[in-house]
Amino acid sequence: MLPPQPARRRRKDARPTEIADAALALFSERGFAATRLEDVATRAGVSKGTLYLYFPTKEDLFRAVLRQGLLPNLEAMEHAVAADQAPAPVLLRQIAGRLLQVLDTNLTAIPKLVLAESGNFPAIARMYADEVVMRAMALLTSILNRGIERGELRRVDPQSAIPTFIAPFLMMALWKHSLGQHTQIAIDPKAVMETHMDILLRGLEPRS
């Protein structure tokens, strides 16, 4: 049995995670441009020098937020789809359910941040597109193609169908971090998801 690690060693190993958590919180509160690295260091309880040791630039920090927050969810969905031979409609509902869980977290600030600040910070837009959007589109394309080949879904162009799957979740993420904070209008994400999936899957049913 290995001896327990010293507290200082465990703390040092945890620092990148703690810094990325602090960055996500500040990105959510202030946006990318208004978040300063020294503020992230303060929120994480480390010195500015320590932060720079792990993340030399704010873009590096944003990449860490993506890889720590969004990519594990995406990887879990990829593994689940690869291992599951369930019908395509079932898999699409499972993906929707996981996205619904993400809507309860600060991770929803990331797409809002990218859309709002990509003009001034094209590097984060490219990063998000390469590491998140392309992989998500590949995953959904594989499900749609599988369903089409099995006769579970009607023949559609995946590239055209995928935005119709994603749009309500993106809208709810944007609503949460914008109008949803300034209006009494209530939107129930679960009800929206269920309604959306019913409409979408009926539209994808094979035609006789």
Domain with 92 in it: what CATH number? 1.10.357.10
Residue 128 lies in a domain: yes
Residue 62 lies in a domain: yes
Low-confidence ranges of the chain (pLDDT < 50): 1-10
Residue 208 lies in a domain: no
Q: Number of structural domains, the chain?
A: 1
Residue 118 lies in a domain: yes
Residue 2 lies in a domain: no
How many C-beta neighbours within 10 Å does residue 176 have?
Answer: 19
Q: Which of 175, 21, 198, 194 is nearest to 100 (CA)?
A: 194
Residue 1 lies in a domain: no
pLDDT in tens, 94-151: 999 999 999 998 899 999 899 989 999 999 999 999 999 999 999 999 999 999 999 9
What does the pLDDT read at residue 13? 60
Residue 161 lies in a domain: yes
CB 56 within 8 A of CB 50: no
What does the pLDDT read at residue 8? 44
**Per residue, what are the HEC states of 118-173?**
CCCCHHHHHHHHHHHHHHHHHHHHHHHHHHHHHCCCCCCCHHHHHHHHHHHHHHHH
SS3 183: coil
Structure tokens at 16: 């990148």
